[in-house]
Structures are given as C-alpha cells and as structure tokens.
C-alpha cells in the first residue's frame, strides 16, 4: 500500500510545474533605476557585498543568514570587480534605489561595498515561488547591477535542508548579480560596446528552435567541456515562463549546473559556464579555481548536442535512460540511485519532442522531455542501506548497477551504493568482504557469495572528481574536497534525525529517500524535478 501511495505522489508531483523564482517578471515590472556613476578603481579586487536584514524577522535571519553568507562568500571568492573608490552614506532617500524597500540596517551608515542586497520574506503557500530575486539599481555608466533583493517564501523554505538552502540562495543571488536575460544585453563586449541582442543567436537544433549564448568565454568553455569545437555557444533554456526561459542554462544540456532551471541541488555544480558569462559581462573577473567540472554531458561530443536524446527507442548517451522496468538505476554522476523518469503524458508532446511511437511518452518538460534518471537516494548521505545488496553509504560511496543479491536471483536491474577506490586504469568496488575489480566499462562480474552479476560502471565517469556537498558553504572545493577541512563532513545530522531505527522495515521501499524533510518539496528536490521558474 505504501509503495502505491509513493508512486502516486511521484507521478502527481513531478508533473506539476512549481514556480520557484520569478526574477524576470519582477525586472520587467519595475526596471532597475539608474544609479549615479561613482568612480571605480581601475584594478580588480574581490567583490564586496553588504546585506540588509531589516525586512526579516530575527528568527528568519538566524535561520537563513549562514546560507546567504555562503552565497556571498562564494562570489566574494570567485569574482573580482572594479571597486567603488568611495562608499555610500545611506539614508531613507536611498530607498528609491532599492525597489522602494526599507534598508534600516544601512541607515545612517557609511558603507563601503560593491553590491547591496536586501533580504525580505513572505509566508504564503498560495504563491508558487519559494524564492525570487531581482536587481533594483544599476551603475549609470556600465549598467552593472549594484543593488538588489532576494525574497524568501518561508512557507516552503522553512522545511529545506542545508543542501537546498545553499543552492537556492546562491542561485537567486546569481540572478541578482546580473545572470538574467534582462541584463545580458547590457554586457560589454571586447570593443567596449553593449551587446544588445548580439549576445545570442537563434538556430534550429534537434528540430527545435534553440537559443545559444555566444559570448566568447562561454563559447570557449562550452566547446572544451563538451569536446565539440563546432558548438556555436551554450544553450539557454527556452521552456517555461518568462521567469525561466532565457535566464538559465538549458536543463537538457546542463542538467546539474547551479543555473539550470530545475532543483538538481543535492550535488549541483558551480560550473565554469556561469563564471564565463560573468567574465563576458566585463563587470566581473572570475577565478576559475572556484568552478567545478560538469558531470552531465562532459566530453560527450557534438552528437550529444546535435542528435535527439532517443533514436530508434535507444538513448544516444548514458546521460539519458530508457529502462522503466529496473527496480532502480544510477544517476549520470553515480552519486545517487533512483528511477528513469519516463511517463505517459495526458496529451501528445510537441512533435519535435516525440522520441517514441507513443507520442505521449516522454520525460520532464525542462529536459526537452528527454528521460533522465532522477535520483532519490544519495550514496553520500545518511539513509537506510539495503542489506540484501550489502549496500553502504559513505563519502567515497558511489552507485553501482547489477542483478546481484544475497538472497535471490534478480531478473531486472537494481542499483546500490558501495565504497569504491580508483586507480589510473580500473576501479575497485567493495561489496561486503569482496573487492570487485572493474577494468572495462560494461563488463558483467560475479560477486562471490551472491546471486546474479555486477555491471562495471563507466570507469572514467565514476572516478571523476565529484562536487562537494553543500559546496563548502562558499569556500573552495578542490578535487571534491573543501579547502576548509571542517566542512568535509558528509553526515549532515539534519538529515538523519527521523531515519527509522529498523532499516529493514518491509513497509518502507528500499529506494525511499530517508530525510527529515521527506514532504512535498523534498520529494521533488530529491528526485531532481523541482522546477525553478
């Protein structure tokens, strides 16, 4: 009975398009005001940010400040600017530059900063956004955003764990800094001119109208990451409403990037693409050591971009899936196990997204309906491992597929988490007392004492450097390890308070994500299908 209810929740929730942020609607309704052109230093220095919390309760400030600080710290580390030579004397008249929001924390103070962000809160479950952001004022000379706000809808975010809050606040702050279709035209090119409409081109790719950002550093970084020298640039999202389209990277291409339009936030990546866009603005100089290697589509070549995801009923890449009969599968990065999200929609999909003889069959809308494994159990987070597979969760654990089992013969594939160790040419997988040595991707291996076989993973991909959980709260993540060693803790106890004592409870499906936050929004986020509009 429980499994039926969970499946019903899965199908109902993932088909709902949850409004998550509405930055562009806000910008269009109230264009940022011009700010006086204060003199800037000609050299590059770390971005200075000041935050005003006077529009939030003490309780909300106590809860959310560390997560905004993580976002601020990340960009203070990752971005440099031409600093203002003088600060601001803030009084109530300055509210006209901050979306007419009060900034009482700033009143009567001389503040030296390059960006001012105001935090506001609402509690309204009738609204469909969890957070949204906008810039309120721009430098009149360069059009660089310098004042903005982030609005948090605590009706939803009060139940978020640290992974989601770091991601949500950083995502929104990225928009406020200028990552938005409303600000791309103000980017300044190498000739000192604003791009206007020249930051993008329209093309038809995969029989689909596609918009590419074509600024030079974005082009360079995209071609290198995907190993495709013919790429015109990097695709912007074209699906969704005005708060989603053109202000995010296309989720079908950049599925686990922080600035994709879906909450794939458990193991999101601060990619070099977003830093490259900021570099192309000429407002910022990025430090790419704070960027992380993408996992989704990495080095997949031009076919990954040019071909449809499913051809003759088969995926063109392991980034996509087709097996809906499997008990569970591994996500593209081998960090989680989950299910192939491929459903029968209530109506025929747009013709360009019909990959099967059944025109109603497809994946999530924002991945161009391509089926992708949606993770719901993270191998690095506390949970209830499946004892029949001798599963474990740990910092060095990764997802492995197979039909192996201690107790029975499996005819369908399942996934499980196991500790691994990588060398230059092979990967070792630890299952109980066994060490399985995988030399060739796809080999089927016996596991002593087990029924069935283990399928060797993509050795290069499973051994690739993984993103740091919580993204080190804004500090540097290098080779999957936080530079601040105190942040290298994969056991976030906020996630394990409500784990059942009896992990073998037969009423609980083995692929359920045991989390304190296992309600409506967490299930969506755990599946990687929470929409950021």
Domain-wise residue ranges, the chain: 19-186, 317-476+490-517
* Helices 272-280 + 216-226 axis angle, to 10: 160
| Strands across the sheet containing 79-81 | 45-46, 79-81, 285-286
- Convert the pLDDT of each residue in 213-240 to its tens digit: 999 999 999 999 999 999 999 999 987 6
469 vs 359, higher pLDDT: 359
- Is 366 strand, coil or helix? helix
Alpha helix locations (H) across 313-456? none
472 vs 97, higher pLDDT: 97
Give the span between the Cα atoms of 51 and 390, in whole angstroms: 48
Binding site for Zn(2+), by residue number, is 171, 175, 248
Average pLDDT over residues 388-405: 95
Give the span between the Cα atoms of 434 and 406, in whole angstroms: 13
Classified by CATH at the fold level, domain 19-186 comes out as: Elastase; domain 1 (3.10.170)
Give the span between the Cα atoms of 55 and 257, in whole angstroms: 31
Give the span between the Cα atoms of 163 and 187, in whole angstroms: 31
Would you mind telling me the total number of residues written for the chain in this entry? Answer: 533
Give the span between the Cα atoms of 467 and 491, in whole angstroms: 15
- Convert the pLDDT of each residue in 419-466 to its tens digit: 999 998 899 999 999 999 999 999 999 999 999 999 999 999 999 888
Which two three-digit tokens encode residue 67?
């997560």
Asked whether the predicted pLDDT for residue 524 surpasses 50, the reply is: no
Give the span between the Cα atoms of 3 and 15, in whole angstroms: 18
Distances in whole angstroms, Cα of residue 203 to Cα of each of 200, 242, 248: 10, 20, 17
Q: What phi and psi, each to the nearest 5 degrees, are found at residue 336?
A: -145, 160
Strand partners, 132: 151
Asked whether the predicted pLDDT for residue 491 surpasses 60, the reply is: no
Helix (H) or strand (E) run with residue 87 in it: none
- Convert the pLDDT of each residue in 140-168 to its tens digit: 889 999 999 999 999 999 988 888 888 89
Is 238 within 8 Å of 211 (Cβ atoms)? yes
**What pLDDT score does 236 carry?**
95
Distances in whole angstroms, Cα of residue 13 to Cα of each of 134, 162, 302, 524: 28, 22, 33, 7
> For 215-344, where are the E strands, in sequence order?
234-236, 285-286, 310-311, 314-315, 329-330, 336-341, 343-344
Asked whether the predicted pLDDT for residue 28 surpasses 70, the reply is: no
Burial 331-366 (b: 16+ CB within 10 A, else e): bbbbbbbbbbbbbeeeeebeeebbbeeeeebbbbbb
Distances in whole angstroms, Cα of residue 354 to Cα of each of 319, 322, 370: 18, 14, 9
- Is 456 strand, coil or helix? coil
Query: Among 84-98, 172-186, 399-413, 494-508, where is mean pLDDT lowest?
Result: 494-508
Average pLDDT over residues 337-365: 95
**What pLDDT score does 266 carry?**
62
- Say how many C-beta atoms besides its own lie within 10 A of residue 156's C-beta: 24
> For 278-320, where are the E strands, in sequence order?
285-286, 310-311, 314-315
Give the span between the Cα atoms of 140 and 149, in whole angstroms: 19
- Say how many C-beta atoms besides its own lie within 10 A of residue 29's C-beta: 9
172 is catalytic: yes
Greatest alpha-carbon span in the chain: 75
Catalytic residue among 50, 121, 151, 172: 172
DSSP 170-209: HHHHHHHTT-STTTGGG-B-TTS-B-GGGGEEEEEETTEE
**What pLDDT score does 517 carry?**
29
Which two three-digit tokens encode residue 233?
């640039």
Query: Among 29-38, 74-83, 272-281, 298-307, where is mean pLDDT lowest?
Result: 29-38
Asked whether the predicted pLDDT for residue 401 surpasses 50, the reply is: yes
> For 409-523, where are the E strands, in sequence order?
414-422, 427-431, 434-438, 444-446, 453-455, 477-478, 481-482
Binding site, by residue number, is 171, 175, 248
Q: What phi and psi, each to the nearest 5 degrees, are found at residue 345?
A: -75, 160
Query: For 413, left (φ over 0), alpha (ψ -120 to 50), or beta?
Result: beta
Burial class (CB in 10 A: 0-12, 13-18, 19+), 232: middle
Query: Among 302-311, 459-468, 491-500, where is mean pLDDT lowest?
Result: 491-500
Angle at 210 between CA 298 and CA 364, to 5 degrees: 65
**What pLDDT score does 511 carry?**
36
Which two three-digit tokens encode residue 91?
């009084």
**What pLDDT score does 489 carry?**
62
Which two three-digit tokens encode residue 425?
């040419």
**What pLDDT score does 494 carry?**
40
């Amino acid at each position: 009975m429980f499994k039926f209810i969970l499946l019903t929740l899965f199908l109902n929730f993932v088909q709902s398009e949850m409004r998550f942020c509405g930055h562009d609607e806000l910008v269009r309704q109230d264009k940022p005001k011009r700010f006086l052109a204060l003199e800037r230093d000609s050299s590059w220095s770390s971005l200075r940010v000041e935050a005003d919390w006077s529009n939030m309760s003490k309780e909300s400030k106590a809860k959310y400040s560390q997560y905004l600080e993580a976002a601020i710290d990340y960009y203070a580390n990752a971005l440099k600017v031409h600093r203002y030579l003088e600060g601001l004397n803030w009084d109530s008249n300055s509210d006209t530059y901050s979306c007419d929001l009060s900034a009482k924390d700033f009143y009567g103070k001389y503040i030296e900063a390059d960006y001012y962000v105001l935090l506001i809160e609402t509690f309204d479950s009738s609204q469909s956004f969890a957070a949204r952001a906008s810039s309120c004022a721009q430098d009149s000379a360069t059009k660089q955003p310098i004042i903005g706000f982030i609005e948090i809808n605590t009706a939803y975010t009060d139940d978020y764990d640290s992974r989601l809050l770091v991601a949500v606040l950083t995502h929104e702050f990225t928009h406020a800094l200028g990552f938005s279709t409303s600000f791309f035209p103000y980017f300044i090119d190498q000739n000192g001119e604003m791009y206007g409409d020249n930051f993008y081109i329209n093309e038809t790719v995969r029989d689909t109208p596609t918009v590419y950002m074509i600024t030079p550093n974005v082009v360079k970084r995209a071609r290198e990451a995907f190993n495709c020298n013919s790429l015109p640039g990097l695709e912007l999202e074209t699906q969704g409403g005005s708060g989603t389209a053109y202000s995010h990277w296309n989720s079908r291409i950049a599925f686990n990037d922080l600035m994709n339009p879906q909450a794939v936030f458990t193991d999101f990546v601060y990619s070099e693409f977003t830093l490259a866009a900021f570099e192309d603005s000429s407002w910022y100089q990025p430090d790419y050591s704070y960027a992380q290697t993408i996992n989704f589509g990495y080095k997949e070549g031009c076919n990954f971009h040019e071909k449809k995801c499913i051809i003759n009923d088969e995926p063109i890449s392991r980034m996509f899936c087709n097996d809906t009969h499997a008990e569970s599968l591994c996500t593209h990065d081998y960090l989680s196990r989950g299910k192939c999200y491929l459903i029968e929609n209530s109506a025929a999909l747009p013709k360009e997204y019909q990959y099967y003889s059944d025109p109603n069959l497809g994946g999530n809308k924002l991945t161009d309906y391509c089926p992708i494994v949606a993770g719901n159990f993270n191998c690095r987070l506390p949970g209830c491992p499946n004892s029949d597979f001798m599963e474990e969760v740990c910092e060095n654990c990764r997802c492995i597929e197979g039909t192996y089992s201690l107790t029975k013969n499996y005819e369908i594939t399942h996934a499980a988490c196991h500790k691994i160790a990588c060398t230059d040419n092979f990967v070792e997988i630890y299952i109980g007392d066994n060490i399985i040595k995988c030399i060739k991707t796809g080999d089927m291996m016996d596991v002593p004492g087990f029924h069935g076989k283990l399928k060797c993973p993509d050795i290069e991909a499973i051994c690739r450097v993984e993103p740091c959980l919580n993204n080190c709260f804004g500090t540097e993540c290098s080779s999957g390890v936080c530079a601040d060693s105190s942040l290298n803790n994969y056991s976030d106890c906020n996630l394990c308070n409500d784990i059942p004592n009896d992990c073998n409870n037969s009423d609980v499906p083995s692929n359920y994500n045991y989390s304190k936050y296992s309600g409506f929004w967490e299930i969506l986020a755990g599946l990687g299908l929470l929409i950021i509009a």
